[in-house]
């Protein structure tokens, strides 16, 4: 059943121990294809994207074993170079397979990418980098075909924007390439660095420089490795906000403070009080105050944190501003919040921060939120993972029951959200 019924039940309180990062686990699974021996990933989250990625890898000939929070990937020296079309539009993993398949099979076909509809995430950066490395790449209506004679060649890649996906593509493609690859203006999000560290454990030679520059010296082969995933900072932030939104206090474990430093500071600026030690992070607030925030690449305020933040802003006494600078279409979920009583206005200008790359476009990428709003229960259709959890937070603080349709989006990206929210005191049922 793809819907939840939510009955507000007062402040959410309790402990949540988050699992490994959803944005890291699938990339580690892809990296395992590059090795000659099996790899093991522990602290893996129970999310839909893991199952999708496992089925993709199985379809091209790998063995993937999932036991509780442990994933074992057994590579094959001769994988099927064609990712079936049935995986079109499910997530963004297929495009990351181009480089590894070129190394293993000297050719590849991957279907069109999918994932949350939060703005353009073009494949241009990926395709351009692979072409620079010597691959022949053709973008077709149903997917991307690539081939190579011999090995990919190291090169200098300058990314027009520090794209997480493009940085990961070049990392995965360059570790077995011939010669040196340098990525300029690379993404340095914790999940990207985590992938680089995993590749390093496999035998890759990777250096990270302070100026957003990765330097990779290609090697002849890689071996399987073991990795214990770091906690999901997106999930940790979401549950901290859920506690604040409902006047409760949620204590989050499993995610180190250094992965949340910008998020913690933002919530502090809005009036939250924190209790932090080496194991747990919790937040509470007597009264929330407004803020002006703009999203940015790491170490800025993460774009995935903004949907929960906007919901929280509806309960801050005054006018808050959110300026989205990473994806130009990430505010689509706001209409549902407005139907629940949120007072939010959207603008196509840059508010709450310096002019961004969307400043001369018609993209609606800024929001002004007036609080404190009295939210009402509603029937909401969830458009993507992060907006889905935001709808849950809003429903938990609203007056009256809510029905959330499209709950598969939420379960694709959050580790066992139904049982976790139940443990915090939220009354919900499937139906």
Q: In the numeric block, which tokens belong to residue 204?
A: 């890759």
C-alpha 7: how far from chain center: 28
Question: Does the pLDDT value for residue 121 go beyond 70?
Answer: no
pLDDT number for residue 161: 93
Contact 232, 255 (CB under 8 A): yes
Task: Render pLDDT for 289-326 as a digit per residue (tens, 0 to 9).
Answer: 999 999 999 999 999 999 999 999 999 999 999 999 99
CATH topology of domain 3-18+231-430: UDP-n-acetylglucosamine1-carboxyvinyl-transferase; Chain (3.65.10)
What 3-state DSSP class applies to 31? helix
With cut-offs at 50, 70 and 90, classify the pLDDT of residue 275: very high
Q: In the numeric block, which tokens belong to residue 192?
A: 């990207």
Q: Name the catalytic one among 2, 15, 36, 116.
A: 116
Neighbour count for residue 285 (Cβ, 10 Å): 21
348 is catalytic: no
Looking at the chain, which residues constitute the CATH 3.65.10.10 domain(s)?
3-18+231-430, 22-226
Q: In the numeric block, which tokens belong to residue 58?
A: 């199985």
Q: In the numeric block, which tokens belong to residue 426?
A: 């939220």
What would the mean pLDDT of 97-121 be, rounded to a whole number? 78
**123 vs 276: which has the higher pLDDT:** 276
Task: Render pLDDT for 374-404 as a digit per residue (tens, 0 to 9).
Answer: 999 999 998 877 678 999 999 999 999 999 9
pLDDT number for residue 412: 84
Question: Does the pLDDT value for residue 114 go beyond 70?
Answer: no
Question: Does the pLDDT value for residue 115 go beyond 50?
Answer: no
By CB atoms closer than 10 A (0-12, 13-18, 19+), residue 355 is exposed
Instruction: Identify the CATH class of 22-226.
Output: alpha beta
Helices (H) and strands (E) in the chain, counts: 14, 23
Give CA–CA dist 427/401, Å, rounded.
10
pLDDT number for residue 122: 62
With cut-offs at 50, 70 and 90, classify the pLDDT of residue 42: very high
Q: In the numeric block, which tokens belong to residue 245?
A: 């939104």
Q: What are phi and psi of 139, to 5 degrees?
A: -95, 120
Q: What are phi and psi of 144, to 5 degrees?
A: -125, 130
Task: Render pLDDT for 169-228 as a digit per residue (tens, 0 to 9).
Answer: 999 999 999 999 999 999 999 999 999 999 999 999 999 999 999 999 999 999 999 999
Neighbour count for residue 275 (Cβ, 10 Å): 11
Question: Does the pLDDT value for residue 33 go beyond 50?
Answer: yes
- How is residue 282 annotated by DSSP? E
With cut-offs at 50, 70 and 90, classify the pLDDT of residue 120: very low
Q: What are phi and psi of 340, to 5 degrees?
A: -90, 0
Q: In the numeric block, which tokens belong to residue 393?
A: 């937070």
Give CA–CA dist 169/172, Å, rounded.
5
pLDDT number for residue 119: 39
The mean pLDDT of the chain is 94
Query: What order of strands is seen across the sheet that includes strand 213-217?
Result: 156-158, 180-184, 213-217, 205-209
Whole-Å CA distances, 53 to 41, 212, 414: 14, 28, 15
Give CA–CA dist 231/190, Å, rounded.
10
pLDDT number for residue 88: 87
C-alpha 260: how far from chain center: 14
Q: In the numeric block, which tokens belong to residue 181?
A: 């690859």
Task: Render pLDDT for 144-178 as a digit per residue (tens, 0 to 9).
Answer: 999 999 999 999 999 999 999 999 999 999 999 99
């Amino acid at each position: 059943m793809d819907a939840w019924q939510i009955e507000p039940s007062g402040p959410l309180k309790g402990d949540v121990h988050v699992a490994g990062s959803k944005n890291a686990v699938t990339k580690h699974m892809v990296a395992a294809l590059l090795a000659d021996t099996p790899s093991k990933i522990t602290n893996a989250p129970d999310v839909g994207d893991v199952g999708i990625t496992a089925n993709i890898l199985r379809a091209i000939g790998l063995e993937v074993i999932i036991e509780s929070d442990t994933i074992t990937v057994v590579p094959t020296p001769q994988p099927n170079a064609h990712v079936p079309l049935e995986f079109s539009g499910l997530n963004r993993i297929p495009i990351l397979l181009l480089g590894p398949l070129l190394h293993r099979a000297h050719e590849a076909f991957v279907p069109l990418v999918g994932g949350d509809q939060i703005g353009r995430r073009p494949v241009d950066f990926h395709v351009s980098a692979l072409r620079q490395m010597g691959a022949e790449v053709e973008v077709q209506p149903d997917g991307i075909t690539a081939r190579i004679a011999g090995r990919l060649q190291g090169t200098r890649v300058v990314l027009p924007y520090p794209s997480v996906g493009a940085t990961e593509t070049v990392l995965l493609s360059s570790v077995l390439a011939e010669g040196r690859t340098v990525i300029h203006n690379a993404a340095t999000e914790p999940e990207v660095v985590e992938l680089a560290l995993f590749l390093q454990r496999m035998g890759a030679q990777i250096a990270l420089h302070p100026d957003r520059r990765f330097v990779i010296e290609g090697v002849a082969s890689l071996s399987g490795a073991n990795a214990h995933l770091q906690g999901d900072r997106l999930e940790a932030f979401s549950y901290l906000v859920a506690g604040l939104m409902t006047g409760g206090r949620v204590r989050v474990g499993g995610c180190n403070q250094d992965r949340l430093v910008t998020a913690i500071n933002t919530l502090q600026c809005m009036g939250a009080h924190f209790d932090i030690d080496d194991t747990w992070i919790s937040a509470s607030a007597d009264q929330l105050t407004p803020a002006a925030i703009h999203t940015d690449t790491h170490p800025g305020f993460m774009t995935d944190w903004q949907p929960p933040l906007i919901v929280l802003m509806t309960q801050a006494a005054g006018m808050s501003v959110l300026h989205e600078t990473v994806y130009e279409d990430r505010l689509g979920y706001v209409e549902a919040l407005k139907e629940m009583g949120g007072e939010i206005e959207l603008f196509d200008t840059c508010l709450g921060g310096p002019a961004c790359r969307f400043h001369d476009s018609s993209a609606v990428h800024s929001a002004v939120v007036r609080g404190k709003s009295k939210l009402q229960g509603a029937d909401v259709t969830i458009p993507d993972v992060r907006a889905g959890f935001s709808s849950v937070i809003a429903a938990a603080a609203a007056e009256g029951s809510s029905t959330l349709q499209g709950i598969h989006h939420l379960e694709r990206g959050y580790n066992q959200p139904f049982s976790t929210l139940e443990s915090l005191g939220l009354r919900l049922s499937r139906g």
